[in-house]
Amino acid sequence: MNSKQSQKKEALHDFLLELFDEDAGQAEAQNDAAFARLAEALPFSLELQMPPAELKLKIFSAARAFEKNAATVANAESAARTRSANLQPPVQLWKNWASRFDAKDLIVQRRDEGRWEKTGVEGVEVKQLFVDPKRDYVTMLVRMQAGASYPSHRHNGFEECYVLQGDLSVGEMTLRTGDYQRAEGGSVHVVQSTTDGCLLFIVSSQHDELLA
């Protein structure tokens, strides 16, 4: 420690003695110059200490452990996203449907029978009515919530659509309750959407091709 540092350390010592003196301390505590003296002398009151040699090893070890833990967390999050994606139902889940009925002359399904299934498109659900795997056709109800849309697709066979309730926009055309449309095989439907929601009766190929 040089002479200047020694003088400032002594000044700090004297100041602290004054500060803890009840009378002088109260007077000095209100004096900005006193605090300036303290701030100036404080850094020189501490002796320089070299860190222990093993500290560097501990720091690097902690850094490696942090990186390893960060990588583990990142891998876990990635795996969770993958599992979530795998659990997401397909957009055209009817491609995996099998017939629920034996060959009969007459098939009846009551309105409270069957079940609604969510598709991979937000706000779009379907209910199986009949599957004909030999002809590659499915008959189903499609329910779309207000604001939902279904992506563009190419028809593998003809598609028939009857609007039971609500509105369905196909490009510039809007279908409403009671309207019917038919699309031939090979034709393309642009994005279909609904403003207020709709319920559709659909007969379609099980293997239409999504385009978007």
In the chain, what are the domain boundaries? 3-85, 93-210
Taking every pair of C-alpha atoms in the chain, what is the biggest distance, in angstroms?
112
> Following DSSP, what letter does each residue of 182-193 receive, concatenated?
EE-TT-EE--EE
The sign of the dihedral angle between the CA atoms of 169, 174, 175, 180 is negative
For residue 195, the model assigns a pLDDT of 97
Query: What percent of the chain shows pLDDT beyond 70?
Result: 71
- Higher-pLDDT residue of 89 and 137 is 137
pTM: 0.58
Distance, CA of 59 to CA of 54 (rounded, Å)? 9
For residue 129, the model assigns a pLDDT of 94
**Where residue 19 falls among pLDDT bands split at 50, 70, 90?**
low
Which residues are CB-neighbours of 136 under 8 A, at least 6 positions away?
Answer: 156, 157, 205, 206, 207
CATH topology of domain 93-210: Jelly Rolls (2.60.120)
For residue 151, the model assigns a pLDDT of 94
Distance, CA of 148 to CA of 93 (rounded, Å)? 17
Residue 41, both tokens:
């002398």
Q: What is the pLDDT of residues 183-201, one digit of tens each?
A: 999 999 999 999 999 999 9
For the chain, first and last CA: distance in Å? 76
